[in-house]
Amino acid sequence: MSFLPPKGMRDSPPKIKILREKVFEKIKTVFERFGFDPLETPIVEKWETLKGKYGDEAENRLIWRFQLPYSEKWFALRYDLTVPLARFYARFKPALPFKRYQIGRVYRYEDPQKGRYREFYQCDADIVGAKEPFADIEIIDMMCEVFKAFNFSEFTIKLNDRRILKGLFEDKLNVEPETMLKIFRIVDKLDKIGKEGVINELKETGLAEEKISYISEILEIAEFKNEEILEFLRKFENEEVKKGVELLEACLDYSKAKHHIKIDLSLVRGLDYYTGMIYEIVVEKPRIGSLSGGGRYDNLIGMFAREEVPAVGGSIGVERLIDAGLETGIFKIEKYTIVDAGVIPLSESVMKYAWEVASELRKSGINTLILYEPTTPVKGIKRLEKKKISYAVLIGEKEASSKTLTFQNLETRERKEYKFDEIEKLTKEIL
């Protein structure tokens, strides 16, 4: 019999769960500072709720959808947290702007590989019912604050606008939507494969020479500084491009993280979805790469309620953050256990007093374990050390009769006596 969870899914032993909780806690604190309220929706949704929302590939290969043996109904495990948000909005119609965050597991039947799981956490913050530009700027600012909270200092906010992409590429190239999608996917790889690489791949698609050289020009400009790119974009007469430029300008004007912003005309992201600003935050030191992305999507939230509801949001790649954080040493498995101290009773007769001591330690806020069977100091300490507990409290006949306890720091090996009445003092030593 196998003891493994399903492929692509993971158990989190205490040391990992402690770290994950710490990471989530940090993110939650920043989200709440920015006025986002917590929300929770079921893991299971009706299949009809998810159907038609994610495109063919997701529907035919990736969504965990199923029937039970007891029912004709189709269910699905949630694929992201955005469609459930849209359903929630339609159901409750909360006062706008509705700012919510949700940290929860989502399910995709991907081929598992390094950093890609079938069950993973998403960590989303969205603002429903707010037009550009301030809500957009707030999302960017907040995500930057999250990374600052994790002590990342060197990161870049790649910023672009869906309307600019449309004006620059779609309207000019005049190709089928499918071809356009292919082109965008190639352009999006600029960072990885360089300009030469992009041009080569574009040639392979059979795109006309003059169209490729047009794209090549744009990519040239994409390497310019922010102000130069804006200069170039301002020349466009296209109304949509103008709006995109205004958005970029507002971001560069108002964002508290403006010095991290780099306009990136090759940033594409999921195009079907976004209608305005799009961003990605790339951590450069350590070289972790993209840890957050998002943008404005003014057509999605209203699709259930059948009304127009502007929205903007961002997501933190929290699995990547944790995996890469552990690899690069930003996160360390420091705590193997939440237990602060272990009480070791040295004989059967002191058990009752040891029980009192444990209870008193707990009252003082110390996370306390007690060994259930009397043992020797050496054996008891060995057991605590095996569990990576830092402090031992030894209770023998002497301690029981004098109402004291022997407290030992298992790292320095230093021992001290404490009176039972003074247990609260221990709090300072330990916490």
Site for a copy of itself in 334-353 (CB under 8 A): 337-339, 342, 351-352
Backbone φ, ψ for residue 334 (5° rounding): -95, -40
Residue 24 binding a copy of itself, by CB under 8 A: no
Whichever of 353 and 418 has its CB closer to a copy of itself, that residue is 353
By residue count, the chain amounts to 431
Whichever of 42 and 194 has its CB closer to a copy of itself, that residue is 42
Q: How far is CA 312 from the centre of its chain?
A: 17
Min separation Cβ 340 and a copy of itself, Å:
9
Whichever of 10 and 242 has its CB closer to a copy of itself, that residue is 10
Min separation Cβ 26 and a copy of itself, Å:
14
Please pick, from the candidates 369, 394, 400, 405, the single residue that binds a copy of itself as defined by CB under 8 A.
369
Whichever of 83 and 291 has its CB closer to a copy of itself, that residue is 83
Helix intervals (H) in 237-288: 239-254
Options 224-232, 240-248, 354-362, 401-409: segment touching a copy of itself (CB under 8 A)? 354-362
Residue 14 binding a copy of itself, by CB under 8 A: yes
Site for a copy of itself in 80-109 (CB under 8 A): 87-88, 90-92, 94-95, 97, 99-100, 105, 107, 109
Contacts by 193-202 with C-beta closer than 8 Å and gap 24+?
A: 195/219, 195/220
Residue 64 binding a copy of itself, by CB under 8 A: yes
Residue 54 binding a copy of itself, by CB under 8 A: no
Whichever of 264 and 340 has its CB closer to a copy of itself, that residue is 340
Whichever of 141 and 188 has its CB closer to a copy of itself, that residue is 141
Backbone φ, ψ for residue 126 (5° rounding): -135, 150
Query: CA 40, CA 31: separation in Å to the nearest integer?
Result: 15
Number of residues that bind a copy of itself (CB under 8 A): 92
Helix intervals (H) in 124-170: 134-149, 162-165
Options 150-158, 217-225, 275-283, 370-378: segment touching a copy of itself (CB under 8 A)? 370-378
**270, 237, 232: which is closest to 248 by C-alpha?**
232
Please pick, from the candidates 347, 367, 409, 427, the single residue that binds a copy of itself as defined by CB under 8 A.
367
Residue 390 binding a copy of itself, by CB under 8 A: no
Contact (CB, 8 A) for 360 and 393: no
Whichever of 16 and 330 has its CB closer to a copy of itself, that residue is 16
Query: CA 408, CA 413: separation in Å to the nearest integer?
Result: 6
Please pick, from the candidates 182, 195, 258, 383, the single residue that binds a copy of itself as defined by CB under 8 A.
383
Please pick, from the candidates 27, 39, 168, 202, the single residue that binds a copy of itself as defined by CB under 8 A.
39
Residue 378 binding a copy of itself, by CB under 8 A: no
Q: What one-letter code names the amino acid at 27?
A: I
Q: What one-letter code names the amino acid at 235?
A: K
Min separation Cβ 78 and a copy of itself, Å:
10
Sheet with 37-38, strands from edge to edge, namely 37-38, 98-107, 119-128, 311-316, 289-296, 277-285, 154-161, 261-263
Which tokens in the block code for residue 250?
């507002």
Query: CA 325, CA 283: separation in Å to the nearest integer?
Result: 11
Site for a copy of itself in 241-300 (CB under 8 A): 253-254, 256
Site for a copy of itself in 116-135 (CB under 8 A): 118-119, 130-131, 134-135
Residue 44 binding a copy of itself, by CB under 8 A: yes
Cβ count near 152 (within 10 Å)? 20
Which tokens in the block code for residue 418?
């404490």
Which tokens in the block code for residue 28?
């939650």
DSSP, collapsed to helix, strand or coil, labels residue 51 as coil
Residue 45 binding a copy of itself, by CB under 8 A: yes
Query: CA 51, CA 70: separation in Å to the nearest integer?
Result: 22
Options 59-67, 165-173, 272-280, 412-420: segment touching a copy of itself (CB under 8 A)? 59-67
DSSP, collapsed to helix, strand or coil, labels residue 180 as helix
Min separation Cβ 331 and a copy of itself, Å:
16
**214, 187, 192, 217: which is closest to 202 by C-alpha?**
187
Residue 185 binding a copy of itself, by CB under 8 A: no
Backbone φ, ψ for residue 429 (5° rounding): -65, -35
Please pick, from the candidates 114, 192, 259, 386, the single residue that binds a copy of itself as defined by CB under 8 A.
386
Whichever of 111 and 237 has its CB closer to a copy of itself, that residue is 111
Which tokens in the block code for residue 281?
């935050």
Whichever of 266 and 275 has its CB closer to a copy of itself, that residue is 275
**273, 308, 394: which is closest to 129 by C-alpha?**
308
Helix intervals (H) in 47-100: 47-50, 56-57, 82-92
Residue 214 binding a copy of itself, by CB under 8 A: no
